[in-house]
Amino acid sequence: MKIAVVGAGAIGAYVGAALHRGGAEVHLIARRDHLRAIQENGVRVLSARGDFTAHPHATDDPNEIGPVDYVFLGLKAHSYPTSGALITPLLGEHTAVVAGQNGIPWWYFHQLKGPYEGRRIEAVDPGGATSEVLPPQRAIGCVVYPATVIESPGVIRHLEGTRFSIGEPGGELSDRCTALSEAMIAGGLKCPVEENLRDDIWIKLMGNAAFNPISALTRATMVDICRHPSTRTMVTRVMEEILDVAARVGSRPDISIEKRLRGAEGVGHHKTSMLQDLEAGKQLELDAIVTAVVEMADITGAEAPTLRTVHAATDLLARTVAA
């Protein structure tokens, strides 16, 4: 099995190192100091589950690699439409693309039976640019649960979680999902193949769409947001509205809002990825996490007043960061 990881950052390098340890042929596409460190010393993973080092091939040129069986995307979703130069050289006739992204994926309505089947979500597939680079029929859905950080170039600190849920947009238990799951498990990861991965997408999105923008607006950690009565109420309303949108497109994730809040509070004084990006002056990952959900509310006729208010404020913040 030949796998390329495009965007071998904190999650991508962690996945690549685990797959390599499990016996897969892995190629990492990385940049600058991180790339040089991996080429010289491999990927060093530091984890309470056990430290290890893997030595997969690493490059910044996908033409060195050629077509692979699977492309794992470790890029932020807003990079997808312009990632053709990195991805196209890796695509063979049967190459599958596994997007380890947050939020609503560009393929969401692909093979989703019902009134919205085939609908394009402009926020994550502007003018069809993402689908042109990443045809939806190549997509294997992926919900990423682990938390990792780059501690230093080539060194990944694994904080928690090993689960990567995957699934076909059409819900079938395909050979390509089964084979990928087996390779991930061989590398020490959990990788269940879900018949309805969209429910997993919404469960994770409940937290991301509520906590990420509010943390960026307030500079507060997740536990601070949970323990402040007004923001706790705001998060609850956003989650209620997200579940309403999810139900309108056929998903009813089996999780309570209170359980989701308890889980977030239990994380402690953790800065969300959006707050970290804001402090680092990076582009905010807003389109897939919030804007796409607002667009789906428009499509389905959901009111979602709290979500729309949070989105409006965070969208303005994102524009000021980019200016």
Domains of the chain listed by start with CATH number = 2-195 (3.40.50.720), 198-322 (1.10.1040.10)
CA distance 277 to 77: 14
Q: Mind telling me the catalytic residues?
A: 204
**Quick one: what percent of the chain has pLDDT higher than 70?**
100
Residue range 14-39: mean pLDDT, rounded: 98
Q: What separation, in Å, do the N-terminal and C-terminal C-alpha atoms of the chain show? A: 43
268 vs 316, more confident: 316
pTM for this entry: 0.95
Collect all residues with Cβ–Cβ distance below 8 Å to 306 and sequence separation of at least 6.
234, 237, 238, 241
List, for residues 148-175, the tens digit of each pLDDT value.
999 999 999 999 999 999 999 999 999 9
Query: In which band, very low, low, confident or very high, does the pLDDT at 30 lie, cut at 50, 70 and 90?
Result: very high
User: If pLDDT is split at 50, 70 and 90, which confidence band does 254 have?
Assistant: confident
| Structure tokens that stand for 317 in this block | 């913040």
Q: Torsion over CA of 28, 34, 40 and 43, rounded to 10 degrees?
A: -60
The structure tokens 């689908």 sit at: 131
pLDDT value for 110: 97
**Are residues 29 and 54 in contact, defined by beta-carbon separation less than 8 angstroms?**
no
